[in-house]
Amino acid sequence: MRITTRIALAALIVSSASGPVLADGANLYVEKNCIACHGANGNKPVMDAYPRIGGQSEMYILAQMKDIKTGTRSNSHSLAMKNIMTNVSDSEMAEIAGWLSKQSQ
């Protein structure tokens, strides 16, 4: 097999393996279980102690997700979400933040 063919095949395999990264924010919001705590469109939290996040600014949402993931933001409620964030990449966070910011409040 020629080397260029091999490279093309490898690229194909890598791009198909990274399927979830290509999913849009709405799908990721469900897949990553955000919906279990923050509810439909980010605005039906299961507990009053959990924040409404739909319609919040994209930049703010992204910053909070990153801060909770890294532990920079840490309070008596942060831990519940921090565990989930270990399974959410930077590009996935960006997708979700973009989608959430477009939901009605």
Q: Which residues bind ligand HEC (CB under 6 A)?
A: 32-34, 36-38, 50-51, 53, 61, 64-65, 68, 73, 75, 77-78, 80-81, 84, 88, 96
**Closest CB 3 distance from ligand HEC, rounded Å:** 40
Q: Which two tokens stand for residue 74?
A: 């840490």
Is the CB of 18 or the CB of 87 nearer to ligand HEC? 87
**Closest CB 16 distance from ligand HEC, rounded Å:** 23
Is the CB of 14 or the CB of 45 nearer to ligand HEC? 45
Distance CA 28, CA 12 (A): 23
Distance CA 102, CA 84 (A): 22
| Number of Cα atoms under 13 Å in the Cβ half of residue 20 | 12
**Closest CB 40 distance from ligand HEC, rounded Å:** 13
Is the CB of 15 or the CB of 87 nearer to ligand HEC? 87
Q: Which two tokens stand for residue 86?
A: 């270990």
End-to-end CA distance of the chain: 56
Closest residue to bound ligand HEC by CB: 34
Distance CA 39, CA 82 (A): 17
